[in-house]
Structure 1
Amino acid sequence: MQTLSRTRSYKRTARRPLRWVKRLVLVSALTFTTLALGGIIFLFGTQTGEDLREWAAGTLLTTQHDYWAPYTFIPEERLNALKEQIRHPQVINSEPETTETELPTTKSAVVPVPEKPKELVEVEEINEKKDNYYFKGKIMYIHDPDRVHLLVTNRKERGDLLDEFVKKTNAIGIVNASGFADPDGYGQGAKAYGLVIHDGKILQGYNPRSGETALGITYDGKLVTGSYSAEQLVKMGVRDAMSFRPQLIVNGKNLFEGKPARSWGIQPRTAIGQTADGTIVFVVIDGRQPGHSIGASMNDLAELLQEKGVVTAMAMDGGSSSMMLHNGEAITKTSCPYYRGRYLPNAWAVI
C-alpha cells in the first residue's frame, strides 16, 4: 500500500509541469495574436500608422534595400511619388555673391572695440527631439573658407578612411563627401559617383547616376551649387567640386520648406553649407542607433542649417558613410559596424 501511494503521488507531481507548460503556451499564443492584431490595426487603421509606413518607405528607398519599400504596403501612387522626389529633386543654380563690408562712420568720436578674433574651427552640439524621433550630431564652423579643400584618395583598390586622409594632410576637421558604388553595403569607395574636381583639375566628368547636382568651392572661397558640368565649374573659378543630391538651401531659400519630409526618410546625414559672411559649415547627424540617435529627414537638415544662417547648402552621402573628425578624433558616432567608418573616395577637409 505504501508503494502504491508513493507511485500515485509521483504521477500527480509529474503531470503538473506538463499542465503549466500547456497553459504557458496558450497564454503566449493568445498574447502574440492580440499584439499582432493590435499592431495591424494600428499600422493600417490609423493615420499615425499610415505615416509610419510612409516614413519607412522613404527611408528604404534611400538605402541599398530599396526593393523592400513596396512591402510597406503604401498605395502605389504614393510610393511612385516618393521615388520621383528622390530621383528628380528640384535643382537651382546658385551664383557666388560678394558681400560688401560696411565701414564705420566718422560721425561719432567713439572708437569701436575690435571683435575678438574667431577660432578657425568651432564645433557645436546638435540634440533635437521631434514628435516621434530624435537625433544628435555635430556642426563644425570654418571661418576661413580658403582652408576648405576636397581631398581625393590616390588608392586604386579602395578608398581612404577619414583618419587616413587626416594622417596624409594633418586636416583639422573632416567629413565624408561623394557617394560611390556600394553593392550590399560592401563598397570599397575607390571611385566616386559623379564629377570630381581637385585643385582646378577635372578628375571625373559628369555622371548622371549621381544626380545632376554639383557642389564646389571657388578660389575665392565661395560655395557654388547647381546643375553644372565639370567644364562649366572650372570656367567659373571652382577649385574643388563633387556631385551628390539633394540641394538643401540655395540663395537663402530652403528647398524643403513646405514639402513632405517622408520622401527621403530618416537617416544619418552629412551636409556642407555656407553662411552669408562666408563661413563654411559641416554638419553630421548620427542615425540608426536607438537610444542615441535615430537620424534626421532632409527637412530637418535644411531647417537646422537655415536656423544657423546658412544660405547655400547641399547634402553629401549619408547612411553609414556619415562621419566627422576633429583634430584626428571622431566626434560623431558612425552607424558603420567598423568604428573608423567607411572607405571613401573623397572628403571635405579643413587643412
Structure 2
Amino acid sequence: MQTLSRTHTRKKKQRRTRRGRVLRRILLTSMMTFVTCLLLGFTFLFFTEKGEELREWGAGTLLTTQHDYWAPYMFLSDEKLEELKQQIRNPVVINSVSETEQKTEEPEVAEEPEVKRELIEIEEIDEKRSNYYFKGKIMYISDPKRVQLLVTNRKERGDLLDEFVNKSGALGIVNASGFYDPDGYGKGAVANGLVIKDGKILQGYNAKGSETALGITFDGKLITGNYTAQQLVDMGVKDAMSFRPQLIVGGKNLFADKPAKSWGIQPRTAIGQKADGTIVFLVIDGRQPGHSIGASMNDVADILEERGVVTAMAMDGGSSSMMLYNNEAITKTSCPYYRGRYLPNAWAVL
C-alpha cells in the first residue's frame, strides 16, 4: 500500500513531466516558426523583385545618413550601390536664372489679390504610400520679401530654432544649411557651403564642391543653381546658402522620372516659390514609426509641384528637419531633444 505522501509525490512528478512536455512543444514550435519566418524573409529579400527594391530603399536611406558605411550590408551588387551613390553625390543641377537674365529682366511682381491674403497659412500633410506613410506641414508665406536667412552668431555651437526666434521675433521658421556632423553629434556652428546675409558674403566657399545654392533676391525672387557667392551677390541676392538637390526648376519636376529609392526615406525640409511669388516651406517628419516614417525626394518634389511651386530645393533633412510657427513646434523632430538640433542658420518669416 502506498502512503499519501508518495501518491502526492508521484502526482507532482507527473504534473512536472506534463509541463515539461508542453514547454518543449512550445519551444520547438516557436523555433520552427522563427526558422520558417527567417527562410521566408530571406527568400523575399533576395529572390523577389519587391525584396530587391526594399533593399535598394534601405541602401538609399543609409547613404543619406551619417551611417552610410552600413549601406553595403543591404547586399546589393557593386554596380547598383555605385549607381545609388552617384545619384546622391552628383544630382542634375540647372541654374534657375542666368546672370544675364537677372540683370536685364525686370523682377516679377505678383498681382495684388482682390482679397488680402494672410501673411502665413499652414497646411497639414498626411499621406500613405504602398510601403510607408508620412506627416508634415506646409507653410505658405504670401510676401516673399518677409523671408530671410538667420545666421548664428555663436562660435562654439549653432542656435536652436526657438533661439533664432527669440533673437529675431520670427513668426515662422525652418532649418536650412547642413553642417559638419560626425556621428550625429555636430554642434552646428559652421554651415557647409556658401552663406550670404543681407547682400554680404559671410562664407564664400562650397565645402563639398558639388552642392547647389538657394538664394532670395532683394526683390523676393527665389534662385537655385550652381553659382559662386559673388555671382549671387551680383545678381541681387540678399540671402543665400548651400545644399542639394534641386527639386523643381522652371516648373519642371527634376525627380519625375527618377527612382525614388536613390535618396531613401527620411525626414525632409524643402523651400520653394510659386509663380505668384509665394514662398513655401515644407517639413516632413520621419524616423518615427506610428507617426511618420519619412518621405522620398520624389514625394517632396511631387507635393510641391501639385501646389504650383515652380522653383524648389531640398534643405538639410534628418534630425535637423523642424518647423516652428509662433515659436511653437508644429512638426515633430526625430532628434532625441524635443527642441531639435543646433543649427548654423535657418529660413525665417520676419
TM bracket, shorter-chain basis: over 0.9
Match for residue 270 of structure 1? 269
Q: Deviations over 1:307-326 (max 9, x none)?
A: 11111100000001000000
Question: 1:124: how far off?
Answer: 0.7
Aligned residues of 2:60 and 2:261 also touching (Cα < 8 A): yes
Aligned length: 341
Structure 2 residue 214 is the aligned partner of structure 1 residue 220 = no
5+ residue gaps, structure 2, are: none
For 1:273 and 1:34, the matched residues in 2 are separated by 49
Closer, same or farther in 2 for the Cα pair 1:102/1:338, shift >3 Å?
closer
For 1:175 and 1:275, the matched residues in 2 are separated by 18
Match for residue 156 of structure 2? 157
Match for residue 256 of structure 2? 257
Structure 2 residue 82 is the aligned partner of structure 1 residue 99 = no
From 61, 64, 67, give the equivalent of 1:65.
67
Match for residue 80 of structure 2? 78
SS in 1 for 2:208: helix
Closer, same or farther in 2 for the Cα pair 1:102/1:159, shift >3 Å?
closer
Aligned residues of 1:271 and 1:314 also touching (Cα < 8 A): yes
User: Which runs of at least 4 in structure 1 moved beyond 4 Å after TM superposition?
Assistant: 100-103
Question: 1:101: how far off?
Answer: 6.7
SS in 2 for 1:125: strand
Question: 1:102: how far off?
Answer: 7.8
Question: 1:210: how far off?
Answer: 6.2
Match for residue 26 of structure 1? 28
Question: 1:11: how far off?
Answer: 2.1
Question: 1:211: how far off?
Answer: 3.2
The letter for the 1-side match of 2:308 is G
Structure 2 residue 168 is the aligned partner of structure 1 residue 169 = yes
Match for residue 203 of structure 2? 204
TM (normalized to structure 2)? 0.94
Aligned residues of 1:137 and 1:285 also touching (Cα < 8 A): yes
Aligned residues of 2:271 and 2:280 also touching (Cα < 8 A): yes
Question: 1:127: how far off?
Answer: 1.3
Q: Deviations over 1:205-262 (max 9, x none)?
A: 1224163300001111111111111111111111100000000011111111111111
Match for residue 180 of structure 1? 179
For 1:101 and 1:182, the matched residues in 2 are separated by 40
For 2:344 and 2:215, the matched residues in 1 are separated by 16
Q: Deviations over 1:80-136 (max 9, x none)?
A: 000000000000111157336789xxxxxxxxxx71100111111111121221111
SS in 2 for 1:278: coil
For 1:225 and 1:125, the matched residues in 2 are separated by 26
Give the stretch that moved more between structures: 296-305 or 207-216. Answer: 207-216
For 2:177 and 2:295, the matched residues in 1 are separated by 19
Aligned residues of 1:138 and 1:331 also touching (Cα < 8 A): yes
C-alpha RMSD of the superposition = 1.5
For 2:110 and 2:204, the matched residues in 1 are separated by 37
Match for residue 292 of structure 2? 293
For 1:5 and 1:174, the matched residues in 2 are separated by 79
The letter for the 2-side match of 1:346 is N
Q: Deviations over 1:134-181 (max 9, x none)?
A: 111111111111110000011111111000100001100000000011
